[in-house]
């Protein structure tokens, strides 16, 4: 990005699956879109997942073409490693002040060959692999990153210059500094995504303390073909687990955590992972401890029944606590409700906490978009306008609006793109509605009614 | 690289080292610690392929730390898997495999 002033029709904030879909839907209609992503690559959380439910399609196989489509679309200006600092009303549109963090790599030269990464002497916990594996201080974010450029983490660099010496195209550039620029857009789509309930939120479950109690996103990485170990191994000692348990509602539907809502995806991802584990470890016993199983979508109930037929054990009961034995095997204390409610302790090799979804970002300060008590964006008319925020011209999609799965995120992204396109049209030309000539402003008000 | 370019590069790195002296010092300390751990792990794996618990027992390092380092070594082609022993994978140094 070299231009200091960028004029586009729509600014999409967030390069996860919802942001990418909204950007593509707008761009395909001929609108010019700027997609701003704070990380060094687009793809969001979806690109790190193993497979999607209920079809068990490979996540990477679905997401990578979309990432590529975004990067190569003539109407999309992709701005990675950038953050929106502030938004100001600019006539009928918006002016966004954006800062681009320095990669310390010249994007016009870098070919993503990773020679710098191999030359770098320091290993750091890899955020993409949720710290299970390592990456170097200078690295390509992950194998299918878009754009495929290296990024140098100056905060963990010893500045030895090895990367600069070995780079065949002289792309390492230690002189880079943050660059500020402006984007003028008529409409904004927020797709800022979600974060997980912290693994250590429920102290009684030992997440973050017990090495073999992990969250479901960790299991996604263990199951992914590009995962850190190349196999499903427990992080405590590399053992191939023979007994794996899931604890449902470990970060949602829980007043004590202040997360009272159902996160909607935990039941399905636990069932999906259990099925994948059955394939990866055919001899392993897999247990899901649950309060309710919520399989609300098309084909989801059948998916659940298939899992039962495969021999996955579903145990009704809320887990009280998790401890461990001297070999770091987690011990789950639970009441078996369907068996006369005895309280038992069961030992497993690995326990997965089905943690819930929290909003990833609060858009109140910068975008002036109000958020509800649960932290997700307030929707004035959630039933009939699920993408329209309280701020005219700003729309929301994906998990910034509330917990939802990939299917719903994509549906909502299409909806947000349609709303944004309608808003843009309403801005540009008066039109006839019945016998009344509706001005752009009147139509804008109607969209936000 | 010309002499002038090399001089410029050295000056830039020197200035950056001064600007980021705290983080550079932290990263250098981490690197030193990592090298010491790697030496122990490589020593333990030198003679024959080992599992993570075996390396942990030989070195006295926590098993999860050993696994993390072996995972990193595998990623950057310094170690490879060479089959299984019970429920654990065996890992071998790449230089040993080449012999």
For residue A151, is pLDDT > 60? yes
For residue A106, is pLDDT > 60? yes
Categorize the per-residue pLDDT at B7 as very low, low, confident or very high, splitting at 50, 70 and 90.
confident
Predicted local confidence at residue A38, as pLDDT: 97
> Rounded mean pLDDT of A205-230?
96
For residue A203, is pLDDT > 60? yes
What angle do helix axes A216-223 and A266-280 make, rounded to 10 degrees? 30
Predicted local confidence at residue A66, as pLDDT: 97
Closest by Cβ to B16, choosing from A133, A174, A228: A174
For residue A39, is pLDDT > 70? yes
- What whole-number percentage of chain A has pLDDT above 70? 95
For residue A415, is pLDDT > 60? yes
Q: State whether residue B80 sits within 8 Å of chain A by CB.
A: no
Residues B87 and A436: their CA atoms lie apart, in Å, by 75
Q: State whether residue A227 sits within 8 Å of chain B by CB.
A: no
- What whole-number percentage of chain B has pLDDT above 70? 95
Predicted local confidence at residue A1, as pLDDT: 43
Q: Which residues in chain B have their CB less than 8 angstroms from residue A230's CB?
A: 74, 81
Closest by Cβ to B30, choosing from A122, A238, A242: A122
Read off the pLDDT of residues B78-98 as tens digits, 9 standing for 90 and up.
999 999 999 999 999 997 555
SS3 track for chain B = CCHHHHHHHHHHHHHHHHHCHHHHHHHHHHHHHHHHHHHHHHHHHCCCCECHHHHHHHHCCCHHHHHHHHHHHHHCCCEEEEEEECCEEEEEEHHHHHC
Read off the pLDDT of residues A261-283 as tens digits, 9 standing for 90 and up.
999 999 999 999 999 999 999 99
Q: Are strands A187-190 and A394-396 parallel, antiparallel or unpaired?
A: parallel
> Rounded mean pLDDT of A426-445?
56
Size of interface A-B (CB pairs under 8 A): 93
> Rounded mean pLDDT of A60-65?
96
For residue A238, is pLDDT > 80? yes
Predicted local confidence at residue A433, as pLDDT: 47
Q: State whether residue A177 sits within 8 Å of chain B by CB.
A: no
> Rounded mean pLDDT of A346-358?
97
For residue A81, is pLDDT > 70? yes
Predicted local confidence at residue B2, as pLDDT: 78
B63/A158 touch (CB, cutoff 8 Å), yes or no = no
For residue A428, is pLDDT > 90? no
Which token pair is A393?
């011209």
For residue B37, is pLDDT > 80? yes
For residue A435, is pLDDT > 70? no
- Closest residue of chain B to A134, computed from CA coordinates: B72
Q: State whether residue A114 sits within 8 Å of chain B by CB.
A: no
For residue A432, is pLDDT > 80? no
Read off the pLDDT of residues B52-63 as tens digits, 9 standing for 90 and up.
999 999 999 999
Of A172, A237, A324, which to mutate for an interface test with B (greatest number of B Cβ within 10 Å)? A237
Q: Which residues in chain B have their CB less than 8 angstroms from residue A157's CB?
A: 20, 23-24, 27
For residue A2, is pLDDT > 70? no
Q: What is the DSSP string of A332-359?
A: EEEE-GGGT--EEEEE-SEEEE---EEE
Categorize the per-residue pLDDT at B8 as very low, low, confident or very high, splitting at 50, 70 and 90.
confident
Contact A419, A447 (CB under 8 A): yes
Of the listed ranges A365-374, A396-405, A435-444, B30-39, the least confidently predicted one is A435-444
Predicted local confidence at residue B96, as pLDDT: 54
Predicted local confidence at residue A447, as pLDDT: 55
B9/A164 touch (CB, cutoff 8 Å), yes or no = yes
Read off the pLDDT of residues A169-194 as tens digits, 9 standing for 90 and up.
999 999 999 999 999 999 999 999 99
> Rounded mean pLDDT of A65-94?
96
Please name the residues between 321 and 360 in chain A that touch chain B, using a CB distance below 8 Å: none
Closest by Cβ to B64, choosing from A154, A175, A236: A236
* Average pLDDT of chain A, as a whole number: 94
Closest by Cβ to A134, choosing from B23, B51, B68: B68
Contact A210, A328 (CB under 8 A): yes
pTM of the model: 0.93
Q: Are strands A82-90 and A93-100 parallel, antiparallel or unpaired?
A: antiparallel
B67/A235 touch (CB, cutoff 8 Å), yes or no = yes
Read off the pLDDT of residues A17-33 as tens digits, 9 standing for 90 and up.
999 999 999 999 999 99
Distance between B11 CA and the closest CA of chain A, angstroms: 11
Q: What are phi and psi of B50, to 5 degrees?
A: -135, 155
Predicted local confidence at residue B13, as pLDDT: 87
> Rounded mean pLDDT of B10-17?
88
Residues B78 and A359: their CA atoms lie apart, in Å, by 40
């Amino acid at each position: 990005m070299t231009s200091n002033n960028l004029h586009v029709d729509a600014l999409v904030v967030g390069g996860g699956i919802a942001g990418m879909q909204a950007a593509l839907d707008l761009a395909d209609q001929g609108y010019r879109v700027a997609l701003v992503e704070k990380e060094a690559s687009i793809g969001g959380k979806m690109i790190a997942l193993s497979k999607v439910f209920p079809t068990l399609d490979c996540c990477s196989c679905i997401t990578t073409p979309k990432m590529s489509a975004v990067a190569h679309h003539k109407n999309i200006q992709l701005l990675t490693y950038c953050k929106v600092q502030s938004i100001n009303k600019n006539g009928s549109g918006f002016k966004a002040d954006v800062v681009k963090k320095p990669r310390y790599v010249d994007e016009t030269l870098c070919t993503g060959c990773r020679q710098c990464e191999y030359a770098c002497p320091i290993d750091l916990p890899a955020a993409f692999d949720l710290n299970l594996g390592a990456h170097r201080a200078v690295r390509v974010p992950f194998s299918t990153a878009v754009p495929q450029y290296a990024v140098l983490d100056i905060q963990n660099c010893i500045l030895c210059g090895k990367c600069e010496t070995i780079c065949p195209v002289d792309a390492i550039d230690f002189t880079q500094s943050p660059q500020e620029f402006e984007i003028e857009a008529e409409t904004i789509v927020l797709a800022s995504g979600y974060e997980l309930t912290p693994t250590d939120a429920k102290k009684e479950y030992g997440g973050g303390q017990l090495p073999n109690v992990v969250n479901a996103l960790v299991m996604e990485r263990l199951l992914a073909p590009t995962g850190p170990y190349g196999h499903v191994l427990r992080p405590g000692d590399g053992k191939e687990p023979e007994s794996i348990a899931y604890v449902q509602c470990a970060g949602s539907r829980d007043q004590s955590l202040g997360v009272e809502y159902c996160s909607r995806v935990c039941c399905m991802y636990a069932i999906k992972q259990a099925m994948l584990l059955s394939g990866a470890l055919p001899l392993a016993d897999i247990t899901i401890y649950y309060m309710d199983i919520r399989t609300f979508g098309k084909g989801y109930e059948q998916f659940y029944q298939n899992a039962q037929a495969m021999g996955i054990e579903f145990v009704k009961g809320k887990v009280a606590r998790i401890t461990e034995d001297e070999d770091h095997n987690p011990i789950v204390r639970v009441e078996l409700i369907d068996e006369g409610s005895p309280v038992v302790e069961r030992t497993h090799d690995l326990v997965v906490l089905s943690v819930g979804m929290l909003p990833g970002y609060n858009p109140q300060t910068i975008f002036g978009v109000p958020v509800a008590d649960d932290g997700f964006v307030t929707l004035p008319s959630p039933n009939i306008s699920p993408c329209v925020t309280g701020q005219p011209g700003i729309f929301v999609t994906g998990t910034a609006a509330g917990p939802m799965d990939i299917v719903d995120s994509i549906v909502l992204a299409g909806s947000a793109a349609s709303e944004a396109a309608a808003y843009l049209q309403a801005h540009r030309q008066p039109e006839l509605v019945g016998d009344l000539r509706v001005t752009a402003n009147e139509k804008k008000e109607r969209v936000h009614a | 690289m010309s002499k002038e370019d090399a001089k410029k590069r050295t000056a830039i790195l020197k200035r950056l080292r001064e600007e980021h002296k705290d983080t550079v010092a932290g990263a250098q300390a981490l690197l030193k610690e990592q090298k010491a751990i790697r030496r122990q792990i490589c020593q333990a794996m030198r003679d024959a392929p080992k599992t993570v618990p075996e390396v942990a027992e030989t070195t006295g390092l926590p098993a999860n730390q050993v696994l993390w380092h072996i995972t990193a070594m595998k990623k950057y082609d310094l170690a490879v898997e060479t089959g299984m022993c019970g429920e654990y994978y065996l890992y071998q140094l790449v230089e040993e495999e080449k012999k």
